[in-house]
Structure 1
Amino acid sequence: MLWLDSADSAAPALPAVWLIPTGASPRNLAERSELRRSVARRLLARQLGCAREDVVMAHDPAGRPLLVRPEAPGLQLSLATRAGIVAVGMAARPIGVDVERIETEGTAPLDLLHPDERGFLDTAASALRPLLFARIWAAKEAYVKALGVGFRRAPESFAVSLLSESAFRVTDPSLRAEAGGHLRIMKNGGQEILAAAAIVLGEG
């Protein structure tokens, strides 16, 4: 997986994920959606060598982003927004990306995790749990986006294992399958640290 931080960068190969600090503070879902689409159009224009106004995007019935124009057969997309960061993933196979804020206040929704994930967090040092939870949750969101189902799929029905600071594995009993993904930590230009995750189904 290639990680890029500049909206002016084209990826020499796919899969790739751009993590773009925008400095924006969208106030609602509509503004977040527009921010995602604006950044994605700019990146797609750069990647495909066309004008930004020539990029037309839509969504499939499940909400997955689609490129309508220009034609780019086989190109798969995934978008996410959190705390002013826009993540855009591109691949030749189904891809999912997500970004999560590392929350040090409040109580994480542990009841939404798989029992193996809760057990892992129980054994971790308390100071590390916010980071580990954010990584797990970003990985779970990325996975269901790659599947194209979102959280219509119960998040506790599959398990994420953190293999290292840069890799995770998903074990999905219902599909009798495992899939590997990629992790990254970044800052949004302010004081917040965020956890990003990306996964490409069938990669490798």
Structure 2
Amino acid sequence: MMLWLDSADSAAPALPAVWLIPTGASPRNLAERSELRRGTARRLLARQLGCTEEDVAIAHDPAGRPLLGLPAASGIELSVATRAGIVAIALARQPVGVDVERIEAPTAPPLDVLHADERKRLAAMPLALRPLAFAQIWAAKEAYVKALGVGFRRAPESFAVSLLSETAFRVDDPSHPTQARGHLRTMKNGGQEILAAAAIVLDGG
């Protein structure tokens, strides 16, 4: 079960949990996006752990995955993403990934970056439904590779995402023997844009 929250001032009663936080910010470059993610995550973690923001330090492993450096021995894994003024933060006790994607206008999505099974499913959909489905698939793929800790050094077409419902997806990955299941949500960013979010927690380390 995944708990979804929408304020950095809200503490989760249990993990895993995802916060989809509308900030109203419009970062102009990668540095500003990174600072927005980091600042929002530190505020949220301080609230969740019952400490001050000064007591929270976020580091990165060699692959770029964020790590909670302080407080030490918290046992919390995190993942962060930013899109269109929304900061997404996932916390769990196991490897976790989160992503959020903008649902674009109803045009043909770039099918060449997808697994063959995903391309077939999208091609079978009415054109009007493809933007949401593509955004959900891509968010799920990015959340999955973040949870793996490799990012898109892992080719996105090398594993397949199946949309099971409006709130769930499955990953079929030939490199891993078990199917992984994740969670989906759509939301508005306070303006006219609709965004698709995906989060997944992987068993084991």
- Corresponding residue for residue 30 of structure 1: 31
List runs of 5+ in structure 1 lacking aligned partners: none
User: 1:73: Cα distance to partner?
Assistant: 3.3
SS of aligned partner of 2:24 = coil
SS of aligned partner of 2:119 = helix
List runs of 5+ in structure 2 lacking aligned partners: none
Q: Matched residues in 2 for 1:72 and 1:197: separation?
A: 27
User: 1:107: Cα distance to partner?
Assistant: 4.0
Q: Could you list the runs of 4 or more consecutive aligned residues of structure 1 that deviate by over 4 angstroms after TM superposition? A: none
Larger CA deviation: 31-40 vs 194-203: 194-203
The 5-angstrom pairing of residues 107-122 of structure 1 reads 107-122=108-123
State the superposition RMSD in angstroms. Answer: 1.1
Q: Matched residues in 1 for 2:22 and 2:139: separation?
A: 17
TM-score by length of 2: 0.97
The 5-angstrom pairing of residues 25-174 of structure 1 reads 25-104=26-105, 106-174=107-175
Letter paired with 2:88 = A
TM-score by length of 1: 0.97
SS of aligned partner of 2:36 = helix
User: 1:46: Cα distance to partner?
Assistant: 0.1
User: 1:14: Cα distance to partner?
Assistant: 0.1
Letter paired with 2:41 = A
Q: Matched residues in 1 for 2:96 and 2:38: separation?
A: 17
SS of aligned partner of 1:177 = coil
Q: Matched residues in 2 for 1:56 and 1:174: separation?
A: 33
SS of aligned partner of 1:128 = helix
Letter paired with 1:142 = A
User: 1:69: Cα distance to partner?
Assistant: 1.0
Q: Matched residues in 2 for 1:162 and 1:156: separation?
A: 16
The answer (yes or no) to whether the contact 2:109–2:130 under 8 Å persists in 1 is: no
